[in-house]
């Protein structure tokens, strides 16, 4: 009962209105006095509540002495609410969009907390129309995989770099296995994660075991380009490593102090 009342309240019904409507669904037609008695709504308030329900079209009167009340069927009420809210959303979409001022493309939105960052990632995936570029670590892979797979089925091209999750595929997948994950994690200070869509928008996030996740989201073309190019180079570096062998590539940077700094962020050879 409490859950039903809570849900109805989301559609503009007061608590007393919810109680009366549900009470009439269970027993009707009944008088106002009987409604008050069965539902616990105070007698001093019952006719005011009944009047509001009549105005909403949620109940009807039956001519009698005294007057009795009966509810609109649950199915009809739900259909009416659904139709009303769809019309409201259509109206708001049209009117608010016309009022929405043009925003500068270089605006950067900041997002904090693991939950909100993951929601933004999934939202970015859901809004992709043609192309997705994704770099994600194993703990976050299961959370976004379903959304990405759905977009791929819809014809969106997805290119992904996965850190860990060796048996998982998300679109055209490249596994970041040419370097120890702890090297990348230490240099980046966590799990650097990227989702870019349609060359229009990018989300750059970092997940850390010790602090809340953070992210920035923007349509700034420069940042979108940089993030996408980062993924392209990461993919090519991985493919080059596969072609020439990880031992040769490791020797290349581990035996050069400048390349060691580039790869690890430290001015000494990585042990």
Contact 134/206 with Cβ under 8 angstroms?
A: no
Q: Are strands 131-137 and 157-163 parallel, antiparallel or unpaired?
A: parallel
For residue 117, count other CB atoms closer than 10 A to its CB: 22
Among all chains, which residue has been given the structure tokens 């994950």? 181
* Interval 29-62: pLDDT, tens: 999 999 999 999 999 999 999 999 999 999 999 9
Distance CA(134)–CA(144), nearest Å, equals: 10
Tokens of 54: 């009549």
DSSP state for residue 73 in the 8-state scheme? P
* Structural domains in the chain plus CATH codes: 2-76 (1.10.10.10), 113-235 (3.30.870.10)
pTM of the model: 0.59
> So what's the pLDDT on residue 251?
84
Could you tell me what percent of the chain has a pLDDT over 70?
94
Residues 219-254: tens digit of each pLDDT: 999 999 999 999 999 899 888 888 888 788 788 878
- When pLDDT is cut at 50, 70 and 90, the band that residue 100 belongs to is low
C-alpha to C-alpha distance for 29 and 67, rounded to whole angstroms: 9
Tokens of 267: 């001015």
């Amino acid at each position: 009962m409490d859950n039903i009342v809570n849900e109805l309240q989301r559609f503009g019904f007061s608590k007393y209105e919810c109680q009366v409507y549900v009470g009439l669904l269970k027993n009707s037609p009944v008088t106002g006095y009987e409604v008050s008695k069965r539902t616990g709504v105070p007698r001093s308030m019952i006719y005011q509540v009944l009047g509001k329900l009549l105005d909403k079209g949620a109940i009807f009167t039956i001519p009698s002495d005294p007057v009795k009340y009966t509810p609109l069927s649950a199915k009809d009420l739900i259909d009416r609410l659904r139709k009303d809210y769809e019309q409201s959303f259509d109206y708001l979409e049209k009117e608010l969009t016309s009022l929405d001022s043009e925003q500068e493309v270089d605006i950067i939105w900041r997002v904090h907390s693991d939950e909100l960052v993951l929601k933004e990632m999934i939202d970015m995936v859901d809004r992709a129309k043609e192309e997705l570029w994704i770099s994600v670590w194993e703990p976050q892979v299961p959370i976004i995989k379903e959304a990405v797979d759905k977009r791929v089925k819809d014809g969106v091209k997805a290119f992904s770099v996965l850190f860990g999750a060796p048996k998982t595929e998300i679109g055209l997948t490249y596994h970041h296995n040419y370097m120890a994950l702890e090297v990348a994690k230490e240099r980046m200070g966590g799990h650097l994660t990227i989702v870019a869509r349609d060359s229009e928008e990018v989300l750059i996030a970092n997940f850390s075991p010790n602090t809340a996740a953070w992210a920035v989201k923007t349509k700034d073309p420069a940042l979108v380009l940089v993030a996408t190019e980062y993924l392209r180079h990461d993919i090519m570096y991985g493919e080059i490593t596969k072609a020439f062998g990880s031992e040769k590539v490791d020797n290349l940077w581990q035996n050069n102090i400048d390349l060691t700094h580039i790869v690890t962020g430290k001015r000494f050879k990585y042990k």
